[in-house]
Amino acid sequence: MRRLLRPTGFIDSPFGHDGKVARLAGGLNWFAQVELLTVEDGRRTGAELLALEGLENRFDDDLARQWSALLAPRQPLQLGERTVRLDQPQVMGILNATPDSFSDGGSFTDAAGAANAGADMASKGAAIIDVGGESTRPGASNVWEGDEIERVVPIIRQLAGGGAAVSIDTRKAGVIEAALGAGARLVNDVSALTFDDRSADAIAASGVPVILMHCQGDPQTMQDNPRYGDVLVEVYEWLESRIAAAEASGISRSKILIDPGFGFGKTVAHNLELMNGLSLFHSLGCSVVLGASRKRTIGALSNEAPADRRLAGSIAFALKAVEQGTQIIRVHDVPETVQALRVWRGLRDQALTPRV
């Protein structure tokens, strides 16, 4: 049996609530309560809603560690010459150099066109451009490493040469090494370093940060009747184990980000449960990334709207995520999401302005 802390009771302003509220991960979100979850055999067996006053008197060592992780400010990402602060939500733009991605596959006929699209995302507010050369949509087949490298390296080289902060979306060590050589400074691995035994060593040697994402199964089979006893707890504990494995490989926890893997081996109900409980993942002490943009869950909730008609649902998920302190939102529609987050940020700034 163990207990987990999920921040809740979020409020607009901490003023006048000394000792009754806490700041989440050094960001713009303040919470007044926690949901204390009792977990046995990977399932929640109880939940207690508690105010923060006197809470620490109930802590064992595990809860004390979680509490410290909830409050600790997240260090900025140093991506080459670019610094990406994580005390506020940031947008990561999706750039797929693939013929078969679920939403934008085949959009670019050459590397220059793709790089120009990435530069446009950066100019419209994307802090990071995430370049991928292998589709990981449901049912997608593996791509040979050489083809993946050929797809992504010219794009990364042009984007990085133009000053953009670039991430490589890949599961393969050889692609990681080639992408870092071309100027990428962040690795986004949908397998959380389980696909290629060499990936962890390549990242540790380079010193770049990495995003560890949860996925049940691989892209070819992940949507074949995914099952969980308790999706929130199982994803949490799996990511906890992958963080430990990455640290054992020499990757500093301060360089690790986590992604619960919205849509990767999960039903609509699983995805919605993860979104509702997203704040739990902050107690792992890593920045949280969410990629719900244009996912099928949005279509399922809106009369099967096609992928290019899911902007409003994507923004709804983005705002739900940042309300729970998520640091990076990975999206296709950059200017629209940036605008939504700027309005959200304006509301937060006003709430956090001392009243005179």
* C-beta separation of 242 from 191 below 8 A: no
**255 classed as catalytic:** no
For the chain, domains (ranges, CATH) are 2-71 (no CATH), 77-351 (3.20.20.20)
Residue type, 284: L
Least confident stretch, 51-55, 95-99, 303-307? 95-99
- pLDDT tens readout for residues 157-184: 999 999 999 999 999 999 999 999 999 9
Active-site choice (295, 296, 310, 348): 295
From 6, 242, 310, 330, active-site residue: 330
At 109-126, the pLDDT tens digits run: 689 999 999 999 999 999
CA dist., res. 191 & res. 265, Å (int): 12
Burial of 46 (0-12, 13-18, 19+ CB in 10 A): exposed
| 295 noted as active-site residue | yes
Q: What's the pLDDT band for 79 if we cut at 50, 70, 90?
A: very high
Alpha-carbon distance of 63 to 84, in angstroms, equals: 30
